[in-house]
Structure 1
Amino acid sequence: MESNDYIDKLLREELRIVNKHLPYKRISLEELLKEDIPHIVLRDGSVHLFKKEELTLLSNIIPKEKWSELKLPIIIEANLSLGEHIYVVREPIAAYAIAKILEKEDYRIPLIIYGKELPIIRKKLRTTTTIVFLP
């Protein structure tokens, strides 16, 4: 095995470990609102519970006809190639929700989030957002 292949393998394994908090399958806002105990199963086998208050907040932001499009948790990418403390939301309906939380009327997709904005999002949407780490 060449040195670069070995390093790539190590990096892939490290990313797998650091991202074990990601779900096997994301569920729509519409489905989660119907559940008595809204939850998903994570890759490490644990159960992640969504706060109903956060689901309600999102249902007030997103038009009802779009509830089925918003998959939760919302994925926020931490991509070091973009720079430190820069995050990305790629899905249009998720970007719309995050832009509303941040009170941004003018935004683009993918939505760029800066380090100082992340705590605002996580304070309001702690259980309905997750951060994925990319190389």
Structure 2
Amino acid sequence: MRDLDKLGRILKKEILSLNRHVPKRRKTLKELLEEKKPHVIGLNGKRHRFKKNELKLIASILSPEEYEKIKLPIYLEMGTSTSGIRIRGKLESRVILYVLGKEKEIDELKNKNEIYIYKPELRIVRQKLPTTTQYIFVTKGV
């Protein structure tokens, strides 16, 4: 049992290491649109800048009232428990579905707080939103 506990601690450290690019604090779309050079600071102390054209694209998808509710970057959760990439949050999911051209599926989000996408879709998302999305690595039970 000790070996399993030790392994769990090692895995947790590795995951934390993989996620050191994650921002200390995400910002709302409203905050970022007001900044001259929109950015967040990662846990590693590095500045992560957002491209204005991506922020404007997201703004075109949402209503002005929602600018204060969505936080960026949108996390693309990679894990060991599923083959899909999880996106949490209704607004975040709506943005991703819109970017993927799946507007018809947006109506189905009323009862969901997350969606899953797969590798071919991930490629599209990262091409269209390279600075406003970010990978985050998660494990279950560690």
When normalised by structure 1's length, the TM-score is 0.95
Residue 134 of structure 1 is matched in structure 2 by 138
What's the secondary structure of 2:75's corresponding residue?
A: strand
> Which protein has the bigger helix share?
2
Q: CA deviation at 1:90?
A: 1.1
The one-letter code of the counterpart of 1:14 is E
Which of 116, 119, 122 is equivalent to 1:118? 122
Residue 69 of structure 2 is matched in structure 1 by 69
The size of the alignment, in residue pairs, is 133
Q: CA deviation at 1:63?
A: 1.1
Q: CA deviation at 1:30?
A: 0.6
The CA deviation string for residues 90-113 of structure 1, in whole angstroms up to 9 with x for no partner, is 111100110100111215431110
The CA deviation string for residues 8-54 of structure 1, in whole angstroms up to 9 with x for no partner, is 00000000111111000000001100000001100000001100010
Q: Could you tell me how far apart the structure 2 residues matched to 1:93 and 1:101 are?
A: 12
Structure 2 runs not aligned, ≥5 long:
none
| Residues 1:92 and 2:96 are matched in the alignment | no
Moved over 6 A (4+): none
What's the secondary structure of 1:112's corresponding residue?
A: strand
Q: Could you tell me how far apart the structure 1 residues matched to 2:16 and 2:116 are?
A: 24
The one-letter code of the counterpart of 1:26 is R
The one-letter code of the counterpart of 1:116 is P
Structure 1 runs not aligned, ≥5 long:
none
Q: Could you tell me how far apart the structure 1 residues matched to 2:135 and 2:69 are?
A: 19
Q: Percent identity?
A: 35
